[in-house]
Amino acid sequence: MQRTQYPIVITIVIMAVITAVGLFLAWSYILRRPELPEGSYRTVVEGVELVVNQDPDKQVYLINPLPDQTQLQPDNQSTQPEPSQPAAGTEQATETPIPPPEPTATPIPDSVIFIDYVVQPNETMYSVALRLDTSIALMAQEGIAQDKLVPGQTIKLPVGNPAYCPGKRPYAVAEGDTAYNISRTLNVPLDVLKTLNNLNDNFDIKAAQILCIP
């Protein structure tokens, strides 16, 4: 009976020794471990002991938690009206901008007009053409011939339009006229005649043309 108790006693003694040794080692480790700074603590992550430092400036504090939204009073809510939308199927009227009126060019008067002219006795196309505002070429161009000059008859005589030469005299170019001889006969500088009538550098003119003379 006593022999059967020896293994049990030995086992108990061995366990006691192992426990004592473990406690001794743990106590020695605790004594040798450095003191942690304030705000630090140890933790074990995946079997490894770590020292964690806490930064007091980065801690999160909950101050004055927001009230329950269901407790807000109606006057705390936004009172801004929503923009009105046009009803379905209706379109907002838009004003079409009216473009400014385009400037109208001043119409140029006709260079030739017709006046009532009473034919005098023994009058010829040559005598009628002594007027500066008409010529035999201009009368012929408008269908007036010598046989139509019946004394006492009123004809439509073509003459230069005064409105075509405002402030100037209209002159009907005759057959054989040149800008040079018109300038000499009427005592008008050739350059002035060219400028007033927009003549080219060759001073070209044609029979029955109306020129403006100062």
Q: How confident is the model over 110-150, as pLDDT tens digits?
A: 999 999 999 999 999 999 999 999 999 999 999 999 999 99
pLDDT band at 66 (very low <50, low <70, confident <90, very high): low
**More confident site: 81 or 164:** 164
Q: What is the mean pLDDT of the chain?
A: 80
Number of domain units in the chain: 2
CATH number of residue 137's parent domain: 3.10.350.10
Q: Are 119 and 26 contained in the same domain?
A: no
Q: Would 92 be classed as within a structural domain?
A: no
**More confident site: 152 or 41:** 152
Q: Would 25 be classed as within a structural domain?
A: yes
Q: Would 49 be classed as within a structural domain?
A: no
Which residues have CB under 8 Å from 50's CB, separation 6+?
Answer: 42, 43, 44
Q: Would 5 be classed as within a structural domain?
A: yes
pLDDT at 162: 97
Tokens 């053409």 identify what position?
Answer: 129
Tokens 């936004």 identify what position?
Answer: 78
Q: Is the separation of the CB atoms in 191 and 153 below 8 Å? A: no
Q: Would 64 be classed as within a structural domain?
A: no
Q: Would 146 be classed as within a structural domain?
A: yes
130/117 Cα distance (integer angstroms)? 14
Global pTM value: 0.52
Q: Would 121 be classed as within a structural domain?
A: yes
Tell me which residue range forms the domain holding 124.
Answer: 112-213
